[in-house]
Amino acid sequence: MKGDYFRYMAEFGSDAERKENADNSLEAYKVAMEMAENSLAPTNMVRLGLALNFSIFNYEILKSIESACKLVKKAYDEAIAELDGLDKKTCEESIYIIEMLKYNLSAWTLCDELLDLEIPKNKTND
């Protein structure tokens, strides 16, 4: 929650506030991810939600598509690998966030690919 709070503050603050809040958010997300990875299953909704929010922070605030995609892919792959062993209720709850991770990964990857395309310039005969 601390990472989310500072992320929201970074979105709406002045330039100086934005930098400070982004730094605070990054630190909070890193600590939270380490704790989640050490104590929660990859399919845990809190862990999945944290990965989703941290990836959005990387994409929107840090403008790091690569970091956002790596984070999402790792969370997605780890969760998918453990879905078979879950009870139906937990599986259904996890699937919703897993689908959001997959959607963001697809959207961000496509967006990045489109930005890398060279758009041919119209040649005019002078």
Cα angle 86-87-91, degrees, rounded to a multiple of 5: 65
- What's the pLDDT tens digit per position in 16-56? 899 999 999 999 999 999 999 999 999 999 999 999 999 99
Has residue 37 been placed in a domain?
Answer: yes
Q: Decide if 110 is inside a domain.
A: yes
- The answer to whether residue 121 scores a pLDDT higher than 70 is no
How many domains are there within the chain? Answer: 1
User: Is 94 a domain residue?
Assistant: yes
Q: What's the pTM value of the predicted model, to 2 decimals?
A: 0.83
- On whether residue 50 sits in a domain, the answer given is yes
pLDDT in tens, 1-12: 889 989 989 998
Q: Write out the residue range of the structural domain in which residue 29 sits.
A: 2-116
Residue 85 pLDDT level (bands cut at 50, 70, 90): confident
Report if residue 65 sits inside a domain: yes
Tell me, what CATH number does 85's domain have? 1.20.190.20
Looking at the domain assignment, is residue 123 inside a domain? Answer: no
Report the alpha-carbon distance of residue 57 to residue 22 in Å, rounded.
9
